[in-house]
Each structure stands twice: as C-alpha cells, then as structure tokens.
Structure 1
Amino acid sequence: MMLEDEIFRKYTVDWNLLVSYGFIKEEKGYRYVTNQVPGFKMIVFVFKDGHVKGTIWDTALDEEYVNYRIESQNGTFVSEIREAYIALLKDIRVHCFKETPFVSKQANRIAQKILEGYQVSPEFLWKRDPLSGVFRHPKNGKWFGIIQHIKADKLKNKAQGFIDILNVKLDEQCAAKIVEPGFYPAYHMNKKSWISVCLDDTVSDEVVMDVIRQSYIINSPDPYWLIPANANYYDMIHIFDDTDITLWKQSVPMYENDIVFLYVSSPYSSIFYQCEIVEANLDHVFENENIHMQKAMRLKLKKRYDISEFALERLKEYGIKSVRGPRHVPKALVKLLEE
C-alpha cells in the first residue's frame, strides 16, 4: 500500500481548507509544493475524487527521488527524507481532512444513513481489524450489519486491491439476492443466513438501505408478550377503571412500544387486556410477602377482551399450555388478538 493511501485511508478532504493551507487549485485537483528539505521539493496533489498522491523531486539531479518508498532502504539520509514526507502528509491530514468511520465513500454514506434512520453508530470491536464496524440492534444488541474492509479477491475472483463490504442477515432471501450484481455469498458469516454487498457503488444506496431494513427487522426482538397476573394479588377486574396507565413488574428485557397481553390466573385463566409499554426498565424496588420487584414498566391500556374470549382452553390451540411467566406470543394468536 502506498504511503498516501495508508495515511489518508479513513479520511475525507475538506476542500475549503486546502487553499488556506497553501494548495493551488488546478484543472484536476489541488497541488501543494514545499522545499522544507534542502535540495528536495515535496509535491502533494489532491485529485478531485479525494485521492492523494505525492512525489519528492531531487532538485540537484532534476529527477524524482524514490528511495524513501523502498522499505528496505533505511539509512540515515533516506530515513530523514521519509520521516519529513510522512510528517508533511500527517500535517495536511490534520488541517485539511476529517476522519471517517470507513474507507470507501459509499460505506461512509451508508453509515450516516444508518445513524439517521436507526440512531445506531458502528462499533469497532477488534484491535487487529480496526476497519470492521458492527451495527447492533438497539433493543437486543444483535448485529444487523457489519461493514468490513477486505481484499477484493475474497469476493471477486482475481480482483485487485481492497474493498468495503456490508454483511446483512436476510435468511431465506439470500438465494434470491445472490444472483443480483454486487451481491455475494457472505464473507466470514453463515452463508445460509447472511449475504455480502460490495460498497463500491455497484449497488445503489437505496437498495443497500433496503436490505439493511430487512436485516434490522429479522434481528428485531419479538414485541408481543403474554404476562401472567395473579388474581389473588391484583384487582384485575377494576385495575383500569380510573386510569389507562398502570405500573407493572418487569422481570425480563422489554422495550417501549412492545405489546403486552395481561393473562389473569385462576379462577379466570384468560387474557383480559392488551397494553402498550410506554416506559420500560424503570428502577422500582418493592417487596412484600407476595411480590418482589426491582424493575418496572408503565403499561397503557389499548384494548379490553371479554373474559371468556381468550381463555386458556383456546390458548392451548396455539401451543400455550400454561402461563407461568413472561413469554412471547405465537404469530397466529397475535393476529387474532389484534383483530
């Protein structure tokens, strides 16, 4: 990798700052020239696509000096030239560039769109792989996207250089997507559930964001809960007579906007209410001989059911044999409860 590519790998140019630094605008970009090392002229060029290229010119010999690019050349003189050039590039980076999370323009655009749409920023989890960023679902921490910087030939046969890719989970949709340009069997992930997308503008941002949306949904926690209420401890008949809000014990991870169906125990053994969680994970310590509470949530009444409508005998038809603690609700039953 060229020195310039390494130093500016995760940076994008701020064009407004180049001129103030001393760059001269030309047809193909911006040029900066300095004679800070006696006998040598250092030239840095920023092309219109943001790519940076540099040369060092030996003014005495009137030819390009290249020894500083040869790693095996480590004598005192060449090392001084190399260090001075690297220091110049880093100074330009500080004053004219801004850091970005990823290498490619499309990867950075997609990261910004994910932030705007889902309020999720990438997490860089591996010191040995600082260019791989994971996007986690805010409710359960599951990965719904991973952007990685890999050798291009890992996906494209005989391709040169490096590329940014996005891994998303599409489950059974993988087979259909894999035939489309820019989509490949997942790199370093389960190929039955995940797929890789090249972030080299082969696939439009709109299509990339659509597969991200699908992956986000697939990785979302089930928002429908069936929670038991002991009729001996709570007045479940009148609990919502004077208000549509109640404070309720929360014993498992749940989130705002999740839907809770309150199942009242014997002698009723039936679902009484449908509620929405309006606040979750509240610190609320309460104890008596029957109730032990550390966390609570606020439930807002959405719907009442006839006491006999969703009794346990009917729930058994959907695989619910008992309700001893919070549990998810089968989709077929949710459909009925929502009608």
Structure 2
Amino acid sequence: MRNKVFEYIKKKYKAEPEYLWKRYPDYAVFRHSDNRKWFGIIMNISYEKIDAQKSGMVNILNVKLEDILMRDYLVSQDGYYNGYHISRGNWISIALDGTVPFEAVCELIDIGFSATASKKKKNVLRQPKEWLIPSNPKYYDIIHAFDDTDTIDWKQGAGIIKNDIVYIYVGAPVSAIMYRCKVIETDIPYNYHSDGLTIKALMKIKLLKRYEADQFTFERLKTDFGVFAVRGPRGVPNSLSALLK
C-alpha cells in the first residue's frame, strides 16, 4: 500500500517524497509547495512501537487532523494510532498493512493536506459556506439597497470568501433576515473608520432572494433555531438553512 499512497499523492497533489534522514532512509516526507509544511510522513517501524499486540515491521502514514473528535474516534478503531513521534497537533498514524482500506487512507490524506495548507490554499480547497451577517440601518439603508441594482459592496467579514452565501439580518427596528446573497468578489481594498465602525475590506454580493419582514424574525430565530444574537458573521444552523433556501 505504501507505493499506492505515493502514486495517489503524486497524481493528486504533484508532490514527490523527500528523504530527510540518513539514519532512516525509508522515511518519506510530503510537503506543500508554498508554505513547505509537511502534510504526510511515511515511516517503516516496528509494529510493537504503536501496538503491543502486533509484531514485525509496518509502514505507517502520519497525517494531521483539525477535528479533535474525529482523531479521538479514529484512534479507537483498528489500524489508527496516536501520531508516532508527532504527538502534538492532532497527528495520527495509519497502518498501511491493509487494516485500513486504501480509500479511507486517501480521504485522510486529503484531510491532512487541507489541515496543513496555507490560508490562501485553504480558501481554494474549502467548499462554499453559508453565513448570517448583521446590518445596522443606523449606518446603511439596507432596506432600499437593492431597489435599483442586484449587486452591492458590503463590509467583508472574517472567513468569508468568494462563492459563499450570506443571509443579511437587518437590525432593529426590522429585526429579521431580509436577503439571501452570493459573494462574487472579496478583498476589495477599503479604509473607513467612524463612530466605532472600522472597515478594512469590502466584498461584492449579488442578491439571490428576498424575504418578507415577518418570515424570519429575531423572535423566530431565537425560538425555532437557537440563534440568540447576530453581532458578526456566524454560521447558519442546518434547520434554518433548509428553510431559507
């Protein structure tokens, strides 16, 4: 399976193995081309170093996970272990002896690649997300913003990237979600500061859908969906997302 892993990484990520240690000539490291971080390490070790019930030699693949719960779940399954020689940072070791199916190994390589990617690369890799963002009528007349156009510039929130969906929640006295928009451009330079409001970048959003002011009120958001505040960009509960679409 070691060679199949090499082939998979080379084909998908154009990464070649690096052999960094003379003492361990079979240890192979795979790096990102931009930030040079490791996203995979293959070692050939004595099985008993990770599993006292096993003997002989085994190839293992070390990958990093961002999800602690996922790591804890996996290491409770056959073929998965806490990261050998890399205990910090949510690394795990996967036995490449067939205990773990090759398809599952590939999925974890993909997860590890994303977990160690640069911010720019992560933005390219991740799937579009949905956000609930606030608007304050005190600063901007959002109620009439789309009267003559379907595209406007808006303050860019942290983590929002192109192709994300934003639902605009209009503050008091409206206190309701009014618009569904798609982000079509981000990182537009802008420098504004007044009355406690600071804007460093804008995003361009396109209107996809309007809602009546009595459809998704703040009271309903609290009662039905557990949304008790919209002070900044936040995720959208699945149950709410299904109705908003």
State the TM-score, normalized to the length of structure 2. 0.68
User: 1:241 offset after TM fit, Å?
Assistant: 2.5
| More relative contact order, 1 or 2 (CA 8 Å, 6+ apart) | 2
The residue number in structure 2 matching 1:39 is none
Instruction: In structure 1, give the amino acid aligned to 2:138.
Output: N
Rounded Cα–Cα distance in structure 2 between residues aligned with 1:311 and 1:259: 19
Q: Which runs of 5+ in 1 are unaligned?
A: 1-103
Rounded Cα–Cα distance in structure 2 between residues aligned with 1:234 and 1:324: 16
Alignment of 1:208-287 (within 5 A): 208-212=105-109, 223-287=129-193
Rounded Cα–Cα distance in structure 2 between residues aligned with 1:260 and 1:252: 13
User: 1:247 offset after TM fit, Å?
Assistant: 1.2
Larger radius of gyration: 1
Q: Does 1:185 align with 2:81?
A: yes
User: 1:232 offset after TM fit, Å?
Assistant: 2.2
Shift in CA distance, 111/308, structure 1 to aligned 2, threshold 3 Å: same
Rounded Cα–Cα distance in structure 1 between residues aligned with 2:45 and 2:229: 53
CA RMSD of aligned residues (A): 4.2
User: 1:227 offset after TM fit, Å?
Assistant: 1.0
Shift in CA distance, 144/208, structure 1 to aligned 2, threshold 3 Å: farther
State the TM-score, normalized to the length of structure 1. 0.51
Please tell me whether the aligned partners of residues 63 and 112 of structure 2 are also in contact (alpha carbons under 8 angstroms).
no
Partner SS state of residue 163, structure 2: coil
Please tell me whether the aligned partners of residues 149 and 164 of structure 1 are also in contact (alpha carbons under 8 angstroms).
yes
The residue number in structure 2 matching 1:112 is 10
Bigger mean CA deviation after superposition, 280-289 or 265-274: 280-289
Please tell me whether the aligned partners of residues 150 and 165 of structure 1 are also in contact (alpha carbons under 8 angstroms).
no
Q: Does 1:329 align with 2:236?
A: yes
Partner SS state of residue 237, structure 1: helix
Partner SS state of residue 232, structure 1: coil
Alignment of 1:1-339 (within 5 A): 104-115=2-13, 131-133=28-30, 146-153=40-47, 154-155=49-50, 157-160=54-57, 163-167=59-63, 169=65, 170-171=70-71, 174=74, 178-179=77-78, 183-188=79-84, 196-199=93-96, 205-212=102-109, 223-289=129-195, 291-317=197-223, 318-338=225-245
Rounded Cα–Cα distance in structure 2 between residues aligned with 1:145 and 1:288: 44
Rounded Cα–Cα distance in structure 1 between residues aligned with 2:184 and 2:44: 43
User: 1:236 offset after TM fit, Å?
Assistant: 1.5
Rounded Cα–Cα distance in structure 2 between residues aligned with 1:115 and 1:242: 45
Rounded Cα–Cα distance in structure 2 between residues aligned with 1:171 and 1:222: 24
Instruction: In structure 2, give the amino acid aligned to 1:112.
Output: K
The size of the alignment, in residue pairs, is 218
